[in-house]
Amino acid sequence: MQNTTDTTKEQERTELHRAIWQIATDLRGSVDGWDFKQYVLGILFYRFISENLTSYINEDERRSGTKDFDYAKLTDKKAEFGRADTVKEKGFYILPSELFSNVRSKARNDANLNETLTKVFRNIEKSAKGSDSENDLKGLFDDLDVNSNKLGATVEKRNQKLAKLLDAIGDLGLGNYYDNTIDAFGDAYEFLMTMYASNAGKSGGEFFTPQEVSELLACLATVGKKEVNKVYDPACGSGSLLLKFAKILGKENVRIGFFGQESNITTYNLCRINMFLHDINYNHFDIAHGDTLIDPKHWDDEPFDAIVSNPPYSIRWEGDSNTLLINDPRFAPAGVLAPKSKADLAFTMHMLSWLSTSGTAAIVEFPGVLYRSGAEQKIRKYLIDNNYIDTVIQLPPDLFFGTTIATCIIVLKKSKKDNKTLFIDASAEFVRGGNKNKLTDGNRAKILQAFTKRADMGHFAKLVSNKTIEENDYNIAVSSYVAQKDTRETVDIKKLNAEIKGIVARQNELRKAIDEIVADIEGRPN
């Protein structure tokens, strides 16, 4: 029986998704869906940090005895007194006149609304200048162009669209962020990303990770743990994989924080926004911009206890054309670099290098890395011979947005209890939902059970010695070790032969009857 809380959550979530969908339907107009998402997310983020800051200041003042205090009604002059302390704690500051609710209330009559919003966004970013949070706020509104012709051909039309957006986002039933039974702002973010996920991979090899896959990866990386020091994703995209640790463990149980790097500037901005929308404070995350393979930004933060990633599939990288990389401590141990045309195992080596001795890494991989020859085979040899590969999981096809490829997961550990590798064939673990396959709670539970049990399960899991893998030329494709279930119908030979004899006898009877009929017609004696 579903409890009341779960029912309430689903009702809130359904209503939220319906409202967001309606915003897109009513207001998008000629704006491309992927671009329109930026406007909705930007305004949603603006509302969130306004309400987050107001709640923080109000709670503090009311605890001090001012029961009817409302920061939104304060004058800007009086509000300035609290700026320094608030920036130190929250990482940013917004004057009362620039709060979402106050700007929205005047928006319809503000002929310069675009300029007002530009100023507000600039001031929010400037509020962090010179503080520890400067890099976390810098450029967060860069993709929210309120002066774009996409919104309307004239300033008046653009402002009309912006005013409608403010009203629509303001009307979303997100409630008080302390009282909501769902992570409403974070949920709104994830729904928006999913809405436009088919366009998420605007550069080659980038595919948005479905929520249920993100959750599986986080669960694999935290089996048997109630807390971790640091979590890391070297190709973090919008940050959804990292934030699953907050859901599974609780953000307070990721003690030091969330770390990630992203090369795409737009997605990098989205990731930082996503952290804020899930109420991860600026001092509890460090998201960097740049190419992780060539210019990693977290040398001073590694090693990491839990690493999850869905790196870009078979993307090109410098490889052996950069003579410095073969001596890079992340790649050198394998004695060879991943092919220039396929960086998959370069990401794998990077993650292994930055994994703590007691940590776990769960990585989505393109299936080709499991069996291709050449440099990739040599890297697999290094991984197997040094007993770093804990588990290989074959996933169903058509899980990811933008591709139908049947991907796999490689789980890495530096401190295994045996010299074996577990292979799990989860290719049939899915349900069809809409136009994509999905992992259900039951599917994930079955995979995690096999992962935890670490034993043979007929046609599903096989524990294989590393010696056997060596003898198989370091092929680690799941199909090479887990026998497929024979779904062919079993045939009873004796029964089949009896049926054939019956058919033959019947045929003889029919031939005799036909001969008699023909003879009768021709007037011949039978």
Q: List pLDDT tens digits, range 211-228.
A: 889 999 999 999 999 999
Q: Are 377 and 393 in contact (CB under 8 A)?
A: no
Number of H helices, E strands in the chain: 17, 11
Query: What is the model's pTM?
Result: 0.85
pLDDT at position 349 is 98
Contact call for residues 443 and 216 (beta carbons, < 8 A): no
- Give CA–CA dist 493/526, Å, rounded: 38
pLDDT value of position 230: 96
- pLDDT at residue number 31: 75
Nearest in space to 31 (alpha carbons), one of 145, 119, 116, 114:
145
The pair of three-digit structure tokens given for residue 436, joined into one six-digit string: 């994509």
Q: If DSSP codes are grouped into helix, strand and coil, which group holds residue 407?
A: coil
Q: Which stretches in the chain have pLDDT values below 70?
A: 1-10, 30, 175-183, 197-207, 402, 486-491, 522-526
C-beta separation of 395 from 210 below 8 A = no
pLDDT of residue 180: 47
Q: Residue 287 forms beta bridges with which residues?
A: 260
* Residue that is written with structure tokens 């670490």 in the block: 454
Angle between helices 113-126 and 100-107 (to 10 degrees): 170
Tokens of 442: 């039951």
CA distance 254 to 175: 26
What is the rounded distance in angstroms from the CA atom of residue 93 to the CA atom of residue 79? 10
pLDDT at 202: 46
Long-range contacts of 28-33 (CB under 8 A, 24+ apart): 29/161, 30/150, 31/150, 31/151, 32/150, 33/195, 33/196, 33/199
The token duo for 351 is: 């993650």
Alpha-carbon radius of gyration of the chain: 30
CA 29 to chain CA centroid, Å, is: 28
**What pLDDT, on the 0 to 100 scale, is given for residue 215?**
93
Written as six digits, the tokens of 193 are 């990303």
Given this model, what pLDDT does residue 181 score?
A: 41
Structure tokens at 259: 């770390």
Q: Which of 378, 78, 92, 362 is nearest to 213 (CA)?
A: 362
Residue 278: closest CA among 252, 256, 302? 252
| Residue 462 parent element (H or E) | strand 461-465
Sign of the dihedral defined by the CA atoms of residues 150, 151, 156, 159, in that order: negative
> What confidence score (pLDDT) does residue 191 get?
79
pLDDT of residue 206: 52
What is the reported pLDDT for 245? Answer: 94
Q: What local confidence, expressed as pLDDT, does residue 19 receive?
A: 83
Give yes or no for a contact between 452 and 421, defined as CB atoms under 8 angstroms apart: no
